[in-house]
Structure 1
């Protein structure tokens, strides 16, 4: 018999898969050991560090790009006075701690604003080396680190000036929540800046001061390890084929103190999108480290859960053996008997009657073989006309045992998937997860606010380059700015009466300073998408405004962060203006509690987002939500917009949810086992067996013309081949019987 066909392989596979599923169930279904720190908490720390790294990278790159763009614009026109350059720069952008213009010929300082910029680091290599004018990190006498950005300006009479701007490498100014601290780490593990520890320096008790000292030591040690981890290649640092953060990120678990464990998330600065091109900040070798002490979980083994997993595996083995016994008794054993009986008849052994199975297709085939044995001349047979089919024992079929087997296995799959390890909304969500949802939402809100402020600042800088007396030159400036600033979809100059003086990009929308004096506004009610506009008055042109329409896709891209769920920007009426997963313009929020959360966040805007997170329980579903209003300054801070985020807590890597997911997975694997094995038996055995029963009954009824071809080289095929041999024998016997009367008639022989 063939090894890969027939009834035996699917039943053997069913046995193997049942044992494998039972072993998997005993191993992973309801494990007792609890991790010291939940995986969800570690993943959240990693995402928090990634968000901080993205914010710091964007801040550094924007500073560098703005300085270079300003220098390019100044060099394209007439040489400007150094004092005028720094004055216009400070009016357009308030992001540098100090700016200086010096003469490259003699090193003389021509103008300076803000913090004094040290110049001892400026040498020939900085200006003419392979990495000329590359931003440098310089440590001040106070110990603080500044990032120096440079650009060359064309002065009067062919002189060249060097524009130097310094800014700090501080952690993005976001709410870190209680007990969290962040650090910016250089190559080698040197900590350049920290935030969060100063919130705890006012502690009075000795225990609190000891804990603060412990956390500072942990930050130093784990920052050094994080810097080592980020030295590896970002591609090799991830599993093959995995996506996610483009840089190197991960988590570390430090020591414990007073029942709490220090957890660290780290992320290297990397470009957010490979299509964005090179990132200056990504080449600085910086790493953002986020440290948070969390309550240590119990690590004791729950013997009852482990025993419960063993009992579930034992129940599967018991039901599986019963199901296999049903298939063996009702399908395999009768089929093998028919194979032996049909082969015996085909060889001419007609003495012993055919053993007829009790029911189903096998009984029909056995009864037909017994009738055929009589037609072949066996004992107690009949050579005369074919008799009627025997009655009884033919109802049902092989599909009944398959259905019974499926029911037996479903008796295990359904309770395991629907009843075992169910959470039903009773899972305790760690407070850290709610805090992280709130703090990360605050970080996204800060990024979106800064992006809108940056968009308006770019318009201020561009408006100083416009010469409205030269329409062609104005359009050239607008087109060039539109190419450089991908955040805009259209740029246009609006006159005092609302008419469009010059434009570039898409179709402009109405803008009126009389009806709405705000410099950033949103319109488009009733349209397919909101229209977000930013404006800047054109200097020395009363009533003229340079307007830029911010692409909604740009705002959407700021909201897409892994591990944060769905994120939206809403206005004061809780109507959607941008979203991470698609939205309709000005649609409401899906959850009834979310608008209330948005309103509460705006009421508490003065106190910050410390309480702007909550758990929403709806039946068995738990949702973690947070809201953060636009605060912190700039033209976008007065919009009344709020970033709101929410996600299903079932996505968290919490032990209770993992147990529930494993139970559902075990149930689905069991259902897949039923479909594969029983479907195999139905296609390869049951359907051919039903066709064979009909063919055998036709042959027993006298149909000797139909030729029987085996479809498969298995037990059913072997019976079909024997049936074909029997058909040929019956045909030869009938021909012989037809010749005998002709030969016995007078005169039939020759003379």
Structure 2
């Protein structure tokens, strides 16, 4: 018989597969153990540290870029006081502790302000050697042993003694006049090392150097942890990451500390990486650590007993099902195969042919095999001349082999369906710890802060652009816009409006603006409230130029404001964070402006639960909005379960607060590494495997055995009833096919006997059918 044909392979496969599912059930479910601090809490702490590290790296890069921008847009004024030049170079609002202008050729200070800038270990000549790119920030120690972050920029100024004209003083795009002698100075700005921004009650954020020394600490509420944790207790992996940098791939992690005073300390760490590809802030060797004490959960139930019991029940089902199939299908069918072959040999011309026909056909007492056996016995007696054709009697509908297969399927389903839909289900309110919900809210607040900072930097940079283009000729102002648009990929469009609201200059794509009149002052606004592409814009007033007549555009109107539209792609990138699930940025009407998942512009949130959660963040009369979090059905996927959701206002004060923007996040609870959901997932998987195995193997058995056997039963009964004209063609190369071939030989012998008028069957042997073709008549 073929390897994959016949009755034995599907029954054996069913037994082996069910035993394998039982073993998987015992191992997978039995190994799920409740932890006092779930893995989801440790993963969330790692992500919170990553968010804080990203904020630190982005902030350092932004301040370094601001210093270089200020130096690049400064007026070269050799006749001015060096101290005045230095004051003009420090960006407005920059948290500088001190600044110095150095002559790189001599290393001497030309001008200084504020506290003394520590230059220990700084090789000025090496920093400004020809061919070097932007100078990366440095971390040094000051005279008071406090760490200082040094930011560098090259400054081109006119050599002393050269007089500058009025046009040079007005042009601030750092394009020097060809007739001016210039020299290059080095600007160094010293500032304090800022502590990382973290969210969540009871959480502490620390910024440490490559030696594990704490440089700055931020405590959200309460006092910072005791100093004994500053050095020796820091995770060694964090120090290694600070030294190795992100190239090793080991840049973040979490550590679970020992219990103290009934609490467990969870520490997350992440290496500070560069916010862009130009400044390698990871070379500073900084690492952010976040620390939080959590109350350990009570010891949960051990699921080993459930896994073993369920596996044992499946083993019993597999053994009993195999025994039933063997007794009702495999054994009878093999006996029919042997009996039919024996009768076929009995009609041959062999000497012992009569002996083969002399033995009666054993008949079983169940289903189709019993009916085939009775038909073969009738055919045997007809061949011997003991009786004539027996008319086929109507058979009452009784259970057969198909009912046996269906019964086995129902028994397997009775084991698998409860596992898929009923067992090991825990209400979401009990399965998700409160600390996980709080971490979701903390991360959502961090995303809101990230978007707010980015929009704030756009407004600050745009103010610098507005000052630079003030009084510039049209061609040079257009070049400044193009350079600024290239330096800010998040800008979809950058353009200048005149007093009438018309576009005077533009760089980038066609604006989506709905502004009819040019706004006054500076700030952040929502560009459109409908359409296919949402956008938010920053704008800044262009200060009046000294020679206003030269600044008119082609229509004779003076430029009024510079506008930078921030496209949806940039907003999508800002809100997307690993491990936070689906994140949306909504307007004041709770419509989606950007998201980390696919969305339609200005669509509502996926569920009413999320809309109600966002409504809880709105400010009461005379108050400010506050973040909110809950476990609810977020509707992020059809048929999805509960999610851990949070919402936070983008800003409570400042220009962005007036827009009413909100950041909303929802992480499916099943995606969290919680023991309850791991147990549920493995239970469902075991049930699905059992159902799949049962459907596959029993379907296989139905196709290759049950259906052919039912057809063979009809053929045998018609042949026993006198049908000598229907030719039987064997289709399957298995037991059913063998019985069909034997029946065809018996049909030929009976037809030959009928034509011979009742002659001895041994005298007119039947011919064997050709291999692979129809039988010969």
Q: TM-score, normalised by structure 1?
A: 0.83
Write the distance in 2 (CA, Å) between the matches of 1:84 and 1:506: 40
**Paired residue for 2:238?**
226
The partner residue of 1:155 within 130, 154, 157 is: 157
Whether the 8 Å contact between 2:609 and 2:634 is mirrored in structure 1 is: no
Write the distance in 2 (CA, Å) between the matches of 1:540 and 1:83: 26
The partner residue of 2:523 within 492, 505, 519 is: 519
| Alignment gaps of 5+ in structure 2 | 159-180, 347-355, 546-557, 764-777
Write the distance in 1 (CA, Å) between the matches of 2:28 and 2:739: 45
Write the distance in 2 (CA, Å) between the matches of 1:68 and 1:288: 26
The partner residue of 1:192 within 190, 202, 215 is: 215
Select between 249-258 and 723-732 the one with higher mean Cα deviation. Answer: 723-732
Write the distance in 2 (CA, Å) between the matches of 1:688 and 1:248: 63
**Paired residue for 2:360?**
353
Select between 83-92 and 546-555 the one with higher mean Cα deviation. Answer: 83-92
**Paired residue for 1:144?**
146
**Paired residue for 1:103?**
103
**Paired residue for 1:21?**
21
Whether the 8 Å contact between 1:14 and 1:673 is mirrored in structure 2 is: yes
Post-superposition Cα deviations, 1:289-326, rounded to whole Å, max 9, x if no partner, equal: 222122233447x46x5434333233222333332233
The SS at the match of 1:200 is coil
> 1:342, CA displacement in angstroms?
1.7
**Paired residue for 2:686?**
666
> 1:492, CA displacement in angstroms?
0.7
Where does 1:216-615 land on structure 2 (aligned, <5 Å)? 216-217=228-229, 220-228=232-240, 248-270=251-273, 277=277, 280-299=280-299, 302=301, 305-348=303-346, 349-375=356-382, 377-378=383-384, 380-382=386-388, 386-392=389-395, 397-427=400-430, 429-466=432-469, 470-508=473-511, 509-511=513-515, 519-541=523-545, 544-592=560-608, 594-595=610-611, 597-603=613-619, 612-615=628-631
> 1:453, CA displacement in angstroms?
0.9
> 1:550, CA displacement in angstroms?
0.2
Whether the 8 Å contact between 2:584 and 2:663 is mirrored in structure 1 is: yes
Whether the 8 Å contact between 1:359 and 1:393 is mirrored in structure 2 is: no
Whether the 8 Å contact between 2:495 and 2:563 is mirrored in structure 1 is: yes
Write the distance in 2 (CA, Å) between the matches of 1:676 and 1:65: 63
Select between 335-344 and 677-686 the one with higher mean Cα deviation. Answer: 677-686
Q: TM-score, normalised by structure 2?
A: 0.81
Write the distance in 2 (CA, Å) between the matches of 1:233 and 1:353: 87
The reply to whether residue 708 of structure 1 matches residue 729 of structure 2 is yes
**Paired residue for 2:119?**
119
Whether the 8 Å contact between 1:268 and 1:286 is mirrored in structure 2 is: yes
Where does 1:34-183 land on structure 2 (aligned, <5 Å)? 34-71=34-71, 90-91=90-91, 94=94, 96-112=96-112, 116-123=116-123, 124-128=125-129, 133-156=135-158, 157-178=181-202, 180-183=203-206
| Alignment gaps of 5+ in structure 1 | 202-211, 238-246, 744-751
Whether the 8 Å contact between 2:47 and 2:578 is mirrored in structure 1 is: yes
Alpha carbons of structure 1 residues 55 and 197: separation in structure 2 relative to 1, 3 Å: closer
Alpha carbons of structure 1 residues 424 and 602: separation in structure 2 relative to 1, 3 Å: closer
Write the distance in 2 (CA, Å) between the matches of 1:10 and 1:505: 66
Alpha carbons of structure 1 residues 64 and 234: separation in structure 2 relative to 1, 3 Å: closer
> 1:148, CA displacement in angstroms?
2.1
> 1:452, CA displacement in angstroms?
0.3
Whether the 8 Å contact between 1:478 and 1:492 is mirrored in structure 2 is: yes
Write the distance in 1 (CA, Å) between the matches of 2:231 and 2:668: 32
Whether the 8 Å contact between 1:174 and 1:446 is mirrored in structure 2 is: no
The reply to whether residue 629 of structure 1 matches residue 649 of structure 2 is yes
- Root-mean-square deviation (Å): 3.8
Alpha carbons of structure 1 residues 428 and 416: separation in structure 2 relative to 1, 3 Å: closer
> 1:259, CA displacement in angstroms?
1.4
